[in-house]
Amino acid sequence: MPSNTDLNAAYLPLIRRIEEEATIIGDQILKIDHFLNHRIEPAFILELGRELARRLSRFHPTLVLTAEASGIAPGLVVAQTLNVPMPYAKKYAPEVESPFLQRIIPSPTKGGETKLVVSQRYLTPGTRVVLVDDFLSNGRTAVALIEMAREAGAEVLGAGFIVEKRFKQGHEAIEALEVPIATLAQVRRLENGRAILNTT
Ligand SMILES: O=P(O)(O)OC[C@H]1O[C@H](OP(=O)(O)OP(=O)(O)O)[C@H](O)[C@@H]1O
């Protein structure tokens, strides 16, 4: 069994691109939307998703769960690589078939509130779930997904993120729910227009 260190090992091609190309605003905002979640670079997302899938494969998931919108691209690659389906919690058009599960969380990047809704039809008891998302920040999205999966009777084996802001509370919030975390890049802090990242 590979160690937890491997789950969070710095994925150097991503670290380099963050160091060289990220836009840093203040000490909170890191933008890499030119390849990750606004203008998607298919070849690089495939590479990142396959690496995350490799790390999450030890949990033998039968389902990948993510959230609209930015989780869908990396989630799809992980799900395709592991050959499992990928429901995603809807935010913008929650006319979801009943019965459904839902959580209302503070909107991570837009202010206000966001509703996350997923049909129980796609989250059945006994399912072995791994979460996937592009970013882990305060962890409200991931915690809501974990809660909904557990409410449906599914087992949450792991949670994978392309980037995590280690200076926010998300990592601790997920650990408190005893869900192992896999990340490709861990941002320790943002200062003077630079991202300080773990490099090992
Ligand atoms: O750990 P958290 O504090 O929950 O933040 C992480 C979430 O924030 C972003 O979603 P957001 O709703 O901002 O944007 P999106 O609709 O583009 O996915 C991102 O895609 C994660 O889902």
Reported as a single tens digit per residue, the pLDDT across 81-123 is: 999 999 999 997 667 888 999 999 998 778 889 999 999 999 9
Residue nearest to atom 20 of ligand 1 (CA): 70
The ligand 1 atom at the shortest distance from the C-alpha of residue 109 is 13
The single-letter code of the amino acid at 114 is T
For the 4-88+122-197 domain, the top CATH level (class) is alpha beta
Instruction: List pLDDT tens digits, range 48-92.
Output: 999 999 999 999 999 999 999 999 999 999 999 999 999 999 997
Closest ligand 1 atom to the C-alpha of 67? Answer: 22
Neighbours of 57 (CB within 10 A): 15
Residue 35 binned pLDDT confidence (cut-offs 50, 70, 90): very high
pLDDT for the residue 94: 60
- What's the pTM value of the predicted model, to 2 decimals? 0.96
* Residue 64, CA distances (Å) to 24, 113, 156 in order: 30, 24, 10
Examine residue 99 and say whether the peptide bond preceding it is cis (omega within 30 degrees of 0).
Answer: yes
Domains of the chain, residue spans: 4-88+122-197
* Residue 55: closest CA among 157, 144, 156, 124: 157
pLDDT at 93: 65
Report the distance separating Cα 112 and Cα 110, nearest Å: 7
Using DSSP bridges, classify how beta strands 63-67 and 128-136 pair: parallel, antiparallel or unpaired.
Answer: parallel
Q: Report the SS3 class of residue 121.
A: helix
pLDDT of 69: 95
Ligand 1 centre and the CA of 135: distance in Å? 7
Which residue, among 128, 115, 131, 140, has the nearest Cα to 182 in the 3D structure?
Answer: 131
What is the interface pTM, i.e. ipTM, of the complex? 0.97
- pLDDT per residue as tens digits for the range 149-200: 999 999 999 999 999 999 999 999 999 999 999 999 999 999 999 999 999 9
Query: Which sign, positive or negative, has the C-alpha torsion 88, 197, 48, 37?
Result: positive
Of the pLDDT bands very low, low, confident and very high (cuts 50, 70, 90), residue 5 is low
* Token pair of 174 as six digits: 């997920």
Instruction: Give CA–CA dist 101/77, Å, rounded.
Output: 25
Ligand 1 neighbours, Cβ below 6 Å, are 37, 67, 69-71, 91, 107-110, 114, 133-142, 170
